[in-house]
Amino acid sequence: MNSTIVQLSCRRWLVAVAVTGISGAFQLSNAAESPLANTNVPSIALDTLVTEVLEHNPELNFYRAEIAAAKGERRTAGTRANPELAATVGDKRVTDGSLAGEGMAWSVSVRQTFDWPGRVPLRKAIANHQMQLAELGFSQFKAALAARTRTLTYNLFAAQEKAEAAKEVADRLQQLREVLVQRDPAGLTPQLETRIIEATELTLQRKATEAALASQSALLELNQLRGAPWTSATKIAPVKLTFSAAPGTDDLLAAAQTNNFELQMRRVELEQQGFKVSLARKDGYPSFTVGPYFSQERASDRQQQIGVGISLPLPLWNRNKGNVETAEARQKQAETSLYVAQRDLDRRIVEKALTYQTKLSEMRKWRPESVDEFRKAAELADRHYRLGAVPIATYVELQKQYLEAVNALLDTKREALEAGQELQRLTGLDFGQPQSAKTAEEKK
């Protein structure tokens, strides 16, 4: 009796696990296909997304706060220290032979500390350079953010296109397999062809799922950049990429000398560090305090004293040599950083220019109608295979090559776009931006 109950419990447990696994598989499948299933979302143009990101990106507030902090430092650098008010009060007793007197004594003074001449202008210069660094950092981030948004938007569009193409071919194979299964296979060849079609269908379903996941990943990052909810669905309008030839390498390197944000920041840091060295040397001279004072004493007689006092520290043990050495070492570091940044910038410009030109040369060899012809050939092969006029090898190869052509076209354009955007960001030149197809037609 107990063994029967245990067997029934085990069977129920296995059934529950199986049902849970099947439902979980369906949920994963639906999650992977969710970006494709949402077709009611209005399309958004690329330029609109870039504008939205530059307006609502949360990280922009960090750089705005950095600029505000630099403004506060600049105001503080030119402000003198507050004067000091000092007062004393006490009792005074005077004894002189047979005479004795007792009364109150008090004094008051106002003192103002003055820096050694030249310190305040140096502090202002350092603060002004800090302001320049904050503004350059803000501009650099905005340029990188716009380039990243364009690249990410095209990645999302390309992933959606890949997913749709893979799903189209996979659905075609699924319909064909369902038709072949319903037939009575006579002989070994039809059975093997059915298995080939089924295996190809599984492979293409996996590609469709991978493309859908890539689309979802790009969408999540895009929502993060524009400050939108994670669940906000977005469909990208067809993107028309028009690539223009980049200027020559010498022109690119020359433009980067004046337009590159990172190089400008390294130069400003070097200039700022030079002012810090001068300030450290000035700090070896003491500040001095000057101010009037007044005192009065009443005992056997009344005494008043008025005058001007001055005080300053004697630089006997601390002449600020340690801070001077530190500032000079930081200056050498800034010089090295500028040199390394210059070399690294030249390398990246040459590398991206070579990549960009190579991708453009590759795309010039394509015919604009190639993908449409591959699509039509895949559909034609499907119809004629059902009629028995096309062998299985030709049919499967056409379906695969159609997808490979779509992926190659989209990937090459993406790589050219990434290289072009990075090249424009590094040099500050503008030789063409990607646009939505509708926007490009309106401009014409």
**63-80 burial, b if ≥16 CB within 10 A, otherwise e?**
beebbeebeebbeebeee
Residue 441 confidence (pLDDT) above 50: no
Residue 4 confidence (pLDDT) above 60: no
Collapse the DSSP code of 206 into the 3-class scheme (helix H, G, I; strand E, B; otherwise coil) and give the result: helix
CA distance linking residue 191 with residue 262, whole number of Å: 64
Residue 116 confidence (pLDDT) above 50: yes
Q: Domain extents for the chain?
A: 42-79+121-284+322-443, 85-114+286-319
Confidence of residue 392 (pLDDT cuts 50, 70, 90): confident
Q: Which of 217, 228, 216 is nearest to 53 (CA)?
A: 228
Distance of CA 417 to the CA centre of its chain: 17
In the chain the first and final C-alpha atoms are separated, in Å, by 85
At 332 the pLDDT is 97
Which CATH architecture fits 85-114+286-319? Single Sheet (2.20)
Q: What are phi and psi of 372, to 5 degrees?
A: -65, -40
HEC sequence for 75-114: HHHCCCCCCEEEEEEEEEEEEECCEEEEEEEEEEEEEEEE
Q: Which residue has the tokens 């646009």?
A: 435
Tell me the average pLDDT of the chain. 83
- Separation in Å, CA 11 to CA 15, 17, 88, 209: 6, 10, 96, 34
At 13 the pLDDT is 36
Quickly name the fold that domain 42-79+121-284+322-443 has: Outer membrane efflux proteins (OEP) (1.20.1600)
The contacts of residue 217 (CB under 8 Å, 6+ apart) are: none
CA distance linking residue 443 with residue 242, whole number of Å: 13
CA distance linking residue 337 with residue 382, whole number of Å: 62
Q: What percent of the chain has pLDDT over 70?
A: 86
The β-bridge relationship of strands 288-298 and 302-311 is antiparallel
Give per-residue pLDDT as tens, 158-183. 888 898 899 888 888 888 888 777 76
CA distance linking residue 138 with residue 141, whole number of Å: 5
Give per-residue pLDDT as tens, 263-319. 999 999 999 999 999 999 998 888 889 999 999 888 777 888 999 999 988 888 888
Which span out of 306-315, 338-347, 426-435 was modeled with the highest average pLDDT?
338-347
Q: What is the dihedral of CA 391, 395, 397, 399, to 10 degrees?
A: 180
